[in-house]
Amino acid sequence: MGRILALDYGRKRTGIAVTDPLKIIANGLTTVRSHDLLNFISEYISKENVELVVIGLPKQTNNELSENERYISQFITTLKRKLPDLKIERFDERFTSVMAHQAMIDGGLKKKDRQNKELVDEISATIILQGYLESRK
């Protein structure tokens, strides 16, 4: 059984989350610079069995795709070229940043820690992955 990797793709940084091998729990993994993401994924897949990558689908409140979608689409095209056997799915990422900030507040993080954009991206990826897991039940 392979893990599921989730990405909250941004132009500068990408938050990454991963499941346990049984695909029960979503955990934040890290945040990497987006231009290093292909190498990170390739290395991670060489060490861990990953059966699926879930990439956030950035929709606005009016249900239209956000401007970031064109960068995500370009990344997906490159990822498919580099790893053609890797299964990729998309999952709505609306409000994940807001939810990540709220989780940080609820968790008692200080204001300075909540301004850590890398942590927000990692938590957002975890929320995307948890939502994806719950949608499969």
Q: Which CATH fold topology does 3-135 show?
A: Nucleotidyltransferase; domain 5 (3.30.420)
Q: What is the pLDDT of residue 19?
A: 97
List, run by run, the mean pLDDT of 10-residue segments along the chain (137 residues): 94 96 94 97 96 91 84 96 96 72 70 74 90 88
Residue 128 makes CB contacts below 8 A (sequence gap 6+) with 6, 7, 8, 17, 54, 56, 91, 93, 96
pLDDT for res 99: 67
Which residues, listed in sequence order, are joined to residue 28 by a DSSP beta bridge?
17
> Per the confidence metrics, is the pTM higher than 0.85?
yes
Query: Domain coordinates of the chain in residue numbers?
Result: 3-135
pLDDT value, residue 114? 67
**Cα–Cα dist 28/124, whole Å:** 9
Rounded to whole angstroms, what are the CA distances from 30 to 40, 65, 123? 10, 25, 9
pLDDT in the model for residue 58: 87
In 1-137, alpha helices (H): 37-47, 69-82, 96-106, 111-114, 117-135
